[in-house]
Amino acid sequence: MLDRRHERLKAARIAAGYRTALEFSSKHGLKQPTYSAHETGERGLRKKVAERYAKILSRELAGITSDWLLDNIGEPPVGILPPAESKKGSSGLKSRQKLFQRQDGTAQAIEHTRLAEILVQLDYLLAEENLNPDTQRRVEIAFAVYECIEMETEARPTSTPAPVNLDRYRPLIRILVT
């Protein structure tokens, strides 16, 4: 993962708190078809454009640089950590898990589809509650909810995980936002 420019661009957008390419391009006055083509790899990403994207993303994502977007040079931005690989090429993670870097510098293996689900629902819940934490706090809340769900899942193992429903976590989320 994150071996290609477009994969790094998409990961950075998501880590910065934008759910879709449309949301990101609209907010920043970018041509949506062009941005989407950069993010899907249908169109190459030139240095000047990468510098513009890095500048925009740096407002919400610490450590993003055009060098990282283009050539994977330097450390990944805070919140993005590619899967760890051993010399044999095996990460030891399940296929749907990735390592994500936490604020304190530690890494946690998570099921990325579940975290994405949580982030989307969290945005709707926060809007309903008229709460507006910054991007970093929003990600921290999503990780906290993810950990709660994982602990519940471990206590009641099933063959398929239950769909995510954040309504039961509203009180916890309200506390975490303040």
Backbone angles phi, psi at 144, to 5 degrees: -65, -45
Within a domain: 27: yes
CA-to-CA dists, residue 50 to 2, 6, 9, 40, angstroms:
15, 10, 9, 14
Domain boundary among 16, 37, 71: 71
One domain, residues 103 and 61: no
Domain count, the chain: 2
Rounded to whole angstroms, the Cα distance separating 34 from 62 reads 24
Per-position pLDDT tens, the chain of length 178: 456 888 889 888 888 888 889 999 999 999 999 999 999 889 999 999 999 999 999 888 778 899 989 988 887 776 665 433 323 333 443 444 444 555 555 545 566 677 778 888 888 888 888 888 888 888 888 888 888 887 777 766 665 666 778 888 888 888 888 7
Residue 128 CA from chain centroid, whole number? 22
Query: Left, alpha or beta for 78 (phi > 0: left; psi -120 to 50: alpha)?
Result: beta
One domain, residues 67 and 108: no
What domain range includes position 136?
A: 97-177
User: In the structure, how many helices (H) and strands (E) does the chain have?
Assistant: 8, 2
**Which has the closest alpha carbon to 53: 66, 67, 36?**
66
Q: What is the pTM of this model?
A: 0.49
Q: Which two tokens stand for residue 172?
A: 């916890």
One domain, residues 67 and 101: no
One domain, residues 60 and 129: no
pLDDT, residue 67, reads: 92
pLDDT, residue 88, reads: 32
What's the CATH code of the domain at 30?
Answer: 1.10.260
Q: Which two tokens stand for residue 156?
A: 């009641």
Within a domain: 30: yes
Rounded to whole angstroms, the Cα distance separating 4 from 157 reads 36
CB 155 within 8 A of CB 162: no
Rounded to whole angstroms, the Cα distance separating 54 from 70 reads 10
